[in-house]
Amino acid sequence: MILLGADIGNTHSSIGLFEDGVLTDTIRLSSALQRTEDEFWFYIKQFLQQKNVKTTDIQDVVISSVVPDLNFVFQRLSEKYFHKEGFFITYEKKLGIDVNIPLPQQVGADRLCCAVAGYSQYRTNLIIIDFGTATTFDIIFKEGAYEGGIIASGLETTNWGLHNKAAKLPKVKLEFPERIVGKNTENAIQSGLMYGEVAMIDGIIDRIIAEENRDFKIIVTGGLGSKIIPFLQHAVISKPSLLMEGIYEIYQKNQ
């Protein structure tokens, strides 16, 4: 069985192939709102050809989206090129966990996917940190309940904001400078962004543990997580493909 998974994010979209439940490969595309289904298909078609997969081999298209304007685009893509309706992940689907907040519809599909995959694999109290357009923290209790989370500005978003709002501040590479005290503007911004992110993450983890009075496993996912992990005081588990694994997990629970 071959599934096509789509993680549609605010900045980038990831397309993944699952063969008999195993994520075999992914590609990353820009989530440009002006793109049509035909333009997305141009890249997806090349991806499938590289993997020697035909459109008729795809059993279903499973979509996690936090960009409502692209939902219809991917639905049309699914119908036009795969002749499938497309399976969209929402809080109303069978998740295998409870969503213990007053307005569950406010939880992004990406965060639900990470929560479901994390709980399925570890069955314990979890803090899941996802580095994307936003840096998000999601809390799952070992009883099988999503309890809420925290949303902070992502590194790339903050970097872009500083550059665009302050005329003399350049956009910098998201790398750790050798010293925390910068000797030039670029290093000073890098220090504020990178060490600031580390301090924010460690501090929020400490506050979650104190408020909930529980021990947690901490999972890190998302593009920039690998750069941050070595500088954290807390021990974490790196799971770069957690969201995609959740896409597959939720689809299977609903068959």
The DSSP string of 75-133 is HHHIIIII----EE--TTS--SSEE-SS-GGGS-HHHHHHHHHHHHHH-S-EEEEEESS
pLDDT of 136 > 90? The answer is: yes
Residue 222 resides in a domain: yes
Domain annotation covers residue 250? no
φ, ψ for residue 123 (rounded to 5)? 50, 45
| pLDDT the model gives residue 113 | 98
pLDDT tens digits, one per residue of 48-93: 999 999 999 999 999 999 999 999 999 999 999 999 999 999 999 9
pLDDT for residue 69: 94
Give the burial class of 175: count Cβ atoms within 10 A of its Cβ; 0-12 exposed, 13-18 middle, 19 or more buried.
exposed
Residue 130 lies in a domain: yes
Mean pLDDT across 214-222:
97
Judgement on whether residues 72 and 184 belong to the same structural domain of the protein:
no
Of 239, 12, 216, 30, nearest in space to 130 by CA = 239
In a domain, 93, yes or no: no
Does one domain contain both 228 and 135? yes
Is there a single domain that holds both residue 42 and residue 75?
Answer: yes
Examine the domain organization and report whether 229 and 191 are in the same domain. yes
- 167 pLDDT more than 90: no
Q: How many degrees, rounded to 5, is the angle at CA 136 between CA 174 and CA 247? A: 105
Tell me if 220 is assigned to some domain.
yes
Range of the domain at 136: 109-241
* Bridge partners of residue 98, in order along the sequence: 145
Determine phi and psi for 193, rounding to 5 degrees. -70, -55
The tally of domains found in the chain comes to 2
- The per-residue pLDDT for range 244-254, each reduced to its tens digit, is 999 999 999 99
**pLDDT at 223 > cutoff 90:** no
- Is 215 part of the annotated catalytic residue set? no
CATH (domain of 53): 3.30.420.40
Taking only the tens place, the pLDDT of each residue in 21-32 is 999 999 999 998
Q: Where are the alpha helices (DSSP H) in the chain?
A: 37-50, 68-77, 109-122, 155-165, 185-212, 225-228, 242-253
Looking at the structure, tell me whether residues 126 and 193 fall in a common domain.
yes
Q: Out of 7, 60, 110, 138, which one is annotated catalytic?
A: 110
Answer yes or no: is pLDDT of 175 > 90. Answer: yes
